[in-house]
Structure 1
Amino acid sequence: MTEKLNPGVARDIGRRVRALREAAGMSVTRLAQVSDVSRRMLTQVELGQANPSIGTVDKVAAALGTTFPGLLGVVDHAPPAGVQIWSTSDDSWAYLLRAVETPDLSVELWRLRLVGEEGHRVGPTAGAPDSMLHVLEGTVRVATGGDVASVAEGRSGTLAADVEHRITAITPVAAFLRVVMVPRSHR
């Protein structure tokens, strides 16, 4: 499953990227150099014509001195139900429920639901503390390299920050919370 942003979220982020870039007096070309995201992609993001990955948005946010939740405007002000970041036709989805920022960290609370064969990839984040996963419904499989573990409903697990994980549902539907702490210097 490719986790692309919901179109409304992508448009909101595009408007915010443009506003922050212009406020900083930065050209699209300069933002492309600083973020390591192509000028073409940045233009499409700003115009709401692209549906970038969360990783791409993270790079752009860092180059603008903010974070993914900061671009969404949800730091300390998230709607009660959160913001649906992505969804699939099979009804898997991810909501960013809450985010707070300190000078050193962005702390994010996510709620995810996986249906059937769909999965969620968690990439490594250098310098980040490990994240926590708590299963609300069903059972998930966490694959890390050659290691595989399962976490059942009502149980919690830790995801090491320095390696990639693949989370999939073992049961037909699985829902879980994830607490993620990302160093501000990373983004």
Structure 2
Amino acid sequence: MSDQIRSDVARLLGARIRALRTGLELSVVKLAERSGVSRRMLTQVELGQANPSVSTVDKIAGALGTSFAALVGVQDRPAPDGVEIWSTEEGSWAYLVNAVETPEATIELWTWHLVRGDRYRTGSAPGAPASMVHVTAGEVRVLAGGAETRIGERRSARIDADEERSFDAVTPVADFVWVVTIPRDAGPA
């Protein structure tokens, strides 16, 4: 499994990214330069023809001076259960429950349900602080930079953001919350 987001969410994000980009009078080329995401990928995202990773959308959002949470609409009016961002046919899912924006960072609260055999992978976030994972049921295994961390039920762990990470359930199912802090860059130039 990858960190690809649901296709309906990807289409919503594409429309919001395009509206924000054009509102800032940025070309796709300029946004590509700012975000480090290729012009071709940006065009496909905006047209709803690509299913980008959460980390790709984070890069685009940062270059636009906003956040992933703001783009999906969680920050403005969070739904009681959040917004389902990722799911699998096997029954795993992830909801972005809420987010707080400060001048320095966006802090996101996620809730996850992983079925053994499914894996969620996410890219590295150099310079970001460690995230917090708290397991409410089952046991989760996190692989980061070649190191394995197992987090049992009612236990918490800090997960370094400098390495690519993957999450999977050790037990038949595992439920956990994940608090992620995404530092703001200096903002669009």
Give yes or no for the alignment of 1:34 onto 2:34.
yes
**Alpha-carbon offset, residue 143 of structure 1:** 2.5
- Equivalent residue for 2:71? 71
- Match of residue 43 from structure 1: 43
What corresponds to 1:96 in structure 2?
A: 96
Aligned residues: CA RMSD: 1.7
Cα deviation for residue 166 of structure 1 reads 2.5
State whether residues 12 and 72 of structure 1, in contact with CA within 8 Å, keep that contact through their aligned partners in structure 2: yes
Distance 1:118 1:36, change over 3 A: same
- Residue in 1 that maps onto 2:158: 158
Q: Name the SS for the 1:108 alignment partner.
A: strand
Scaled by the length of structure 2, the TM-score of the pair is 0.91
Paired residues, what number? 187
Identity percentage of aligned residues: 53
Ranges in structure 1 where 5+ consecutive residues have no aligned partner: none
**Cα distance change, pair 7–175 in 1 and its aligned pair in 2 (3 A):** same
1:7-53 superposed Cα distances (whole Å, 9 cap, x missing partner): 11111111111111111111122212222222222122111121111
The equivalences for 1:127-138 within 5 A come to 127-138=127-138
The alpha-carbon distance between structure 1 residues 13 and 174, as it changes in their structure 2 partners (threshold 3 A), is same
Q: Retained in 1: the 8 A contact 2:135–2:177?
A: yes
Pairs within 5 Å for 1:117-156: 117-156=117-156
How far is 1:159 from its partner?
0.9
> Which amino acid in the other structure matches residue 36 of structure 1?
G
Residue in structure 2 matched with residue 59 of structure 1 by the alignment: 59
- Contact in 2 for aligned 1:115/1:174 (Cα 8 Å): yes
Structure 2 residue runs without a partner (length 5+): none
Structure 1 partner of 2:174: 174
The runs of at least 4 consecutive aligned structure 1 residues that moved more than 6 Å come to: none
